[in-house]
């Protein structure tokens, strides 16, 4: 157990809808990263938040957005869902925002878009 | 652009065998390399993290090595057990803090 929790565990949406996924960081961690893992693939970096500011973004369109709250929990929002957004969404927390911190992953949210 | 490749994509071995999983990366400018385990439909469990200044890390039956100059890492599993069956992912930590993952090696250990 890493102490990182995600909700919900599973979610089914239809194309065009919007979805919000949530992540609660490990105690004391101020950095959250989000990853998308399609079936049979490695996770792909979406973005990272450090002390409530986005400080890194991968190759994802603007309809993928996020928030980090003062308690360092985080949300991932996806608008105008597409079939290809079906994936396991993972969040990872760490302390310090540096490039050498160990990231601890949550169990993920499985999103299915029909 | 950093690319991470894992070979083989899948591996099946009998219980008790020692095995090696391979990971290669194209850009040696990394901060560290991490090996993860992923059970079907689950999140990632960190196994070993090797900083760029280190050559290897060990934990129990697992040993990971890193050769930055050649862009390679190996994960050695000794005396494999059926409970080791999972997908193993390697990831390099890059500028900006993001992890870049390989596609994983799916390991099956037969009793």
- Identify the three-state secondary structure at position B24: strand
| Radius of gyration of chain A, Cα coordinates, nearest whole angstrom | 13
Question: Which of B47, B97, B102 would best serve as a mutation to test chain A binding (most A beta carbons within 10 A)?
Answer: B97
| Cβ separation A56–B98 shorter than 8 A | yes
| Cβ separation B42–A108 shorter than 8 A | yes
A window 18-47, beta carbon within 8 A of B? 31, 33, 35, 40-45
Do residues A29 and A106 make contact, with C-beta atoms less than 8 angstroms apart?
Answer: no
What tens digit of pLDDT does each residue of A100-112 get?
677 889 999 999 9
Q: State the burial class of residue B59 (Cβ atoms within 10 Å of its Cβ: 0-12, 13-18, 19+).
A: exposed
Nearest by CB: A42 against B31, B95, B101: B101
Q: Which of B104, B89, B87, B100 is nearest to B31 (CA)?
A: B100
What tens digit of pLDDT does each residue of A35-78 get?
999 998 999 999 999 889 998 899 999 999 999 999 889 999 99
What is the spatial distance between Cα B49 and Cα B11, in angstroms, rounded to a whole number? 23
Size of interface A-B (CB pairs under 8 A): 72
Residues of A in contact with B46 (CB under 8 A): 102-105
% pLDDT > 90, chain A: 74
Residues of A in contact with B32 (CB under 8 A): 100
Contacts of A34 (CB under 8 A, 6+ apart): A23, A45, A46, A47, A48, A66, A74, A76, A89, A90, A91, A92
The pLDDT of residue A95 is 84
What is the spatial distance between Cα B87 and Cα B82, in angstroms, rounded to a whole number? 13
Mean pLDDT of the residues in chain A: 92
- Identify the three-state secondary structure at position B110: strand
Nearest CA in chain A to B93: A99
| Cβ separation B99–A43 shorter than 8 A | yes
Do residues B56 and B65 make contact, with C-beta atoms less than 8 angstroms apart?
Answer: yes
What tens digit of pLDDT does each residue of B78-95 get?
999 999 999 999 999 977
Full DSSP string of chain A: --S-EEE-SEEEE-TT--EEEEEEPPTT--EEEEEEE-TTS--EEEEEEETTEEEEE-S--TTEEEEE-TTS-EEEEE-S--GGG-EEEEEEEESSS-TTSPPEE---EEEEE-
- Residue B56 has which token pair? 């290897």
Residues of B in contact with A103 (CB under 8 A): 34, 46, 99
Do residues B20 and B8 make contact, with C-beta atoms less than 8 angstroms apart?
Answer: no
């Amino acid at each position: 157990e890493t102490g990182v929790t995600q909700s919900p565990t599973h979610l089914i949406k239809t194309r065009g809808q919007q979805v919000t996924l949530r992540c609660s960081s490990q105690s004391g961690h101020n950095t959250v990263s989000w990853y998308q893992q399609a079936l049979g693939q490695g996770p792909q970096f979406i973005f990272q938040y450090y002390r409530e500011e986005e400080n890194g973004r991968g190759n994802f369109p603007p309809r993928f957005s996020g928030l980090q709250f003062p308690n360092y929990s985080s949300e991932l929002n996806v608008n105008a869902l597409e079939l290809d957004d079906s994936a396991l969404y993972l969040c990872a927390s760490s302390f310090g925002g540096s490039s050498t911190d160990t990231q601890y992953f949550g169990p993920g949210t499985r999103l299915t878009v029909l | 652009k950093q690319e991470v490749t894992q070979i083989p994509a899948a591996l099946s071995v009998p219980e008790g065998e020692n095995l090696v999983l391979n990971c290669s990366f194209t850009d040696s400018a990394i901060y560290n390399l991490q090996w993860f385990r992923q059970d079907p439909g689950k999140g990632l469990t960190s196994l070993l993290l090797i900083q760029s200044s280190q050559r290897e890390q060990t934990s129990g039956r697992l040993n990971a090595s890193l050769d930055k100059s050649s862009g390679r890492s190996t994960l050695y599993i000794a005396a494999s057990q059926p409970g080791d069956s999972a997908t193993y992912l390697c990831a390099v930590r890059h500028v900006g803090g993001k992890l870049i993952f390989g596609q994983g090696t799916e390991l099956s250990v037969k009793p």
